Amino acid sequence: MMSSTTQSNMARRIKTPLVILFYLFIWELGALKVSSSLILPSPVETIEALLELMPKEVFRLSVATTVVRIVSGVGLSMVAGIFLGIASSMKKQIFYIIEPLVGFLKSIPVISVSILILLWFDENIAPVAVCFLLCFPPIWSNTFQGMNTVDKKKIEMARVYQVEWIDILKNIYLPHLSPYMLSGLSISIGLGWKSTVTAELLSSAPYAMGRMIYNSKIYLETTDLFAWTMTVVILSMLMEKIVKCLIEKKSRRIRDGHKN
Amino acid sequence: MDIKIKNLIKKYNGQVIFNGVDMVFKRGLISVISGPSGIGKTTILNILSGIDNDYEGTVLGVDKEKISYVFQEPRLLDHLTAYENIKFVLNKKLDFDKIEETINKVLETVELTEYKSFYPNELSGGMKQRVSIARAFAYPGDLILMDEPFSGIDEKLKMQMMRDIKKLQKKQMKTIVFVTHNMEEARFIGDEHYIIEGRPSIIRKQVK
């Protein structure tokens, strides 16, 4: 007899492709109705364009450069967000300084940040800086929230027993913070892709997915525009999945570290 | 040297809880502090342990690095087993070889050897509290503070746990300050007995 967990896993495995097929079908219907690949190319045309683009060097270089920019931007925002999130929960003065900045960054449009940053940095650095500024708020907020919900009684217990701060961090803070950081990171990866590609588009950075999207638009190559967009979506989802797996593995290792 | 509290003055939310109180806890004995809820029993333990530093007066004979504390709740870390929870407070306090021996010994005394690799969510409330008692006795300190460690535990188990504590105390000759509002518990476990009453509180020492 199948357990309910196995059944629900199977249902999810069947459901996801069905949902994707449903949306591809709606897209195909729309493309048939419009019947102009200049306005709305069909899924098949888009996949064909993607397959044509993939072997080209410009595709590989653009994808690689954009991915490096996103990893750098998200990575920097992780380091700064976690460090300042922990510091803000420990020192009120730091919180008072960071909180309005985070509020400002959360509400400012991506386009405004990108244009401003482009005035100050060159086209290679600007997308990384934009990505950093937009990814920082969710990571900072989540870390700060995690720090404030940690069980103070357990900290008190560890302090009475004179446990070293590194062990308190490893055994009380980190296991509690990891889901908060994971959720912050997962939001940031999506934001990172959107902001970096937008900044690349505005900065006309060399070898950049954003620039390729812009070129497709000005040369009215709508099928290519769809193919590049599809690449962004697939890579963004893939990166989120990989990072989630890595962090979950790492958190499990932190949790199980004491067994050895 | 005995543990002494001299001329303790403690205010909480503008209210005077203790106004010049003196207490002495003799080394190697179990001293019980009893009294109604909210009278300031836990405050005494928090002052002794250093959790509460907002008071006037003097505390003598306490080495802050040699204190164990059994709280009302077990305060175990959920991702660590019973064994690891005890090891968590012993790291770098005992030699590596000594840690295992010490933990095994205390777990045997509280009859939890079979459960050493169980996680807190796999243990009953009473078992978790026994792990926290074992943790306190495994710690290389000389003073153990216990704050109503039997709240929410049934009578039969409570008796067994009180016997465990007496057994461990006899073996290790540690000084224990035990807080309870239950007079029967106080009489059974205590070598010395302080009763706190009134507001500002006064402390009576009851002769056994």
Average pLDDT score over residue span A68-91: 94
Whichever domain contains A58, its CATH number is 1.10.3720.10
Instruction: Decide if pLDDT at A260 tops 80.
Output: no
- 């200049």: which residue's tokens? A38
- Interface check for A172 against chain B (CB to CB < 8 A): the answer is yes
Q: Which residues of chain B lie closer than 8 angstroms to A168, CB-CB?
A: none
Same domain membership, residue A112 and residue A11: no
Same domain membership, residue A50 and residue A26: no
% pLDDT > 70, chain A? 93
Domain count, chain A: 2
Same domain membership, residue A137 and residue A100: yes
pLDDT band at B142 (very low <50, low <70, confident <90, very high): very high
Give per-residue pLDDT as tens, B8-21. 999 888 888 888 88
Q: Is there a contact between A83 and A137 (Cβ–Cβ < 8 Å)?
A: no
Q: In terms of residue numbers, what domain contains A31? A: 1-35
Same domain membership, residue A242 and residue A120: yes
Question: What's phi and psi for B11, nearest 5 deg?
Answer: -115, 145
Same domain membership, residue A181 and residue A82: yes
Exposure of B144 in the CB half-sphere (CA atoms within 13 A): 26
Same domain membership, residue A116 and residue A25: no
Give per-residue pLDDT as tens, A91-136. 999 999 999 999 999 998 888 988 899 889 888 889 999 999 999 9
- Interface check for B63 against chain A (CB to CB < 8 A): the answer is no
Query: What is this model's ipTM?
Result: 0.92
Chains A, B: CB contacts within 8 A come to: 48
β partners of residue B67: B143
Same domain membership, residue A92 and residue A221: yes
Same domain membership, residue A78 and residue A17: no
Average pLDDT score over residue span B85-107: 93
Instruction: Decide if pLDDT at A258 tops 60.
Output: no
Same domain membership, residue A162 and residue A193: yes
Same domain membership, residue A118 and residue A56: yes
Give per-residue pLDDT as tens, B163-181. 888 888 888 889 999 999 8
B51, B79, B89 ranked by CB distance to A163: nearest: B89
Same domain membership, residue A69 and residue A10: no
Residue of chain A nearest B46, judged by CA positions: A160
Q: Is there a contact between B56 and B9 (Cβ–Cβ < 8 Å)?
A: yes
**Mind telling me how many Å the CA of A58 is from chain B's nearest CA?**
48
Q: Which of A151, A159, A160 to mutate to test the interface with B (most CBs of B within 10 A)?
A: A160
- How is residue B54 written in tokens? 């907002």
| Closest listed residue to residue B27, CA positions, set B164, B185, B144, B147 | B144
Q: Is there a contact between B94 and A161 (Cβ–Cβ < 8 Å)?
A: no
Question: What's phi and psi for B192, nearest 5 deg?
Answer: -130, 155
Same domain membership, residue A119 and residue A28: no
Instruction: Decide if pLDDT at A227 tops 90.
Output: yes
Give per-residue pLDDT as tens, B179-203. 998 888 888 899 999 998 887 777 7
pLDDT band at A81 (very low <50, low <70, confident <90, very high): very high
The interface residues of chain A toward chain B in range 110-169, judged by CB-CB distance below 8 A, are 153-154, 156-164, 167
- Interface check for A176 against chain B (CB to CB < 8 A): the answer is no
